[in-house]
């Protein structure tokens, strides 16, 4: 089982703002950067946010990340149909000496 | 264009072996950590292993330690995952990913499917 906990699902109508939480511990989020990935089935996962709140070049500013203590969140503003996908948080875990992904959140655009 | 192409997946019996390959192009392979990540049917992403630029450091998820080995050849721009003593629970799509540092993955391949039968 994953050491990073996310809600299984989130939804919103086009144009709305959706927020996804990620809860961890002092050995992962509390002491390392958090990353966010988007994954559509059958495609390559895509990096959305790196080092807590940085967007890769070319990524729309509708996606934003934040971190506080042992928790983090991803916000998607101006929700669009193409945002319907699975979203994962991830961080290095010092206790495990390994990279851990969150449980994943399926975002549905209503 | 930065590209990662995995190959080598297939159907194998429990206890068998398989070697996955990842061909990298469009970037200086030797500058990056590299990783393998998998997704079992109906499950989320799971990191499997990563390897430092010169191969001097390797890390594995506990469930594959002693069974899987991550390898690279910078001269051939290639990454491999040698999988031995395969279990049914190793059935998954395996992704190769580029890692600017040990803790993040910025470019991913499309994956190769491994099925372990009982």
Mark out chain A residues that contact chain B at CB-CB < 8 A.
2, 32-33, 35, 37, 39, 43-47, 50-51, 56, 86, 88, 90-92, 96-104
Closest Cβ opposite residue A44 in set B61, B95, B104: B95
Query: How far is A14 from chain B, CA to nearest CA, in Å?
Result: 26
Look up residue A109 and give its DSSP letter: E
In this predicted structure, what is the pLDDT of residue A42? 85
In this predicted structure, what is the pLDDT of residue B55? 96
In the predicted model, residues of chain B with pLDDT beneath 50 are none
Cβ burial of A39 (10 Å; 0-12, 13-18, 19+) is: buried
In this predicted structure, what is the pLDDT of residue A1? 58
Look up residue A53 and give its DSSP letter: T
Look up residue A102 and give its DSSP letter: B
Closest Cβ opposite residue A101 in set B46, B102, B103: B46
Range A68-72 average pLDDT: 97
Q: What is the pLDDT of residues B43-70, one digit of tens each?
A: 999 999 999 999 999 999 999 999 999 9
The helix (H) or strand (E) run that includes residue B22 is strand B18-25
B35–A contact, CB cutoff 8 A? yes
- B110 Cβ contact partners less than 8 Å away, ≥ 6 residues apart: A43, A44, B5, B6, B95
Determine, for residues B44 and A2 on separate chains, whether the beta-carbon distance falls below 8 Å. Answer: yes
Q: What is the pLDDT of residues A79-105, one digit of tens each?
A: 999 999 999 999 999 999 999 999 999
- B103 Cβ contact partners less than 8 Å away, ≥ 6 residues apart: A32, A33, A35, A91, A92, A99
- Measured in degrees and rounded to the nearest 5, phi and psi for residue B90 equal -85, -5
């Amino acid at each position: 089982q994953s050491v990073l906990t996310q809600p299984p699902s989130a939804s919103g109508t086009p144009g709305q703002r959706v927020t996804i939480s990620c809860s961890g511990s002092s050995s992962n989020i509390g002491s390392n950067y958090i990353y966010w990935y988007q994954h559509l089935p059958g495609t390559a996962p895509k990096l959305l946010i790196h080092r807590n709140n940085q967007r890769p070049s070319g990524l729309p500013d509708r996606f934003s990340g934040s971190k506080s203590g042992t928790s983090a969140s991803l916000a998607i503003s101006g929700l669009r149909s193409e945002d319907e996908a699975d979203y994962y948080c991830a961080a290095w875990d010092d206790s495990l000496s390994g990279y851990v992904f969150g449980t994943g959140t399926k975002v549905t655009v209503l | 264009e930065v590209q990662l192409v995995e190959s080598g997946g297939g159907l194998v019996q429990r206890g068998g072996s398989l070697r996955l390959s990842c061909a990298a192009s469009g970037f200086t392979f030797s500058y990056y950590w590299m990783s393998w990540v998998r997704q079992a049917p109906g499950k989320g992403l799971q990191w499997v292993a990563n390897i430092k630029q010169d191969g001097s450091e390797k890390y594995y998820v506990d469930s594959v330690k002693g069974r899987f080995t991550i390898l690279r050849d910078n001269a051939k721009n290639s990454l491999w995952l040698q999988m031995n003593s395969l279990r049914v629970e190793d059935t998954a799509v395996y992704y190769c990913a580029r890692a600017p540092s040990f803790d993040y993955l910025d470019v991913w391949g499309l994956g190769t499917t491994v099925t372990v039968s009982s």
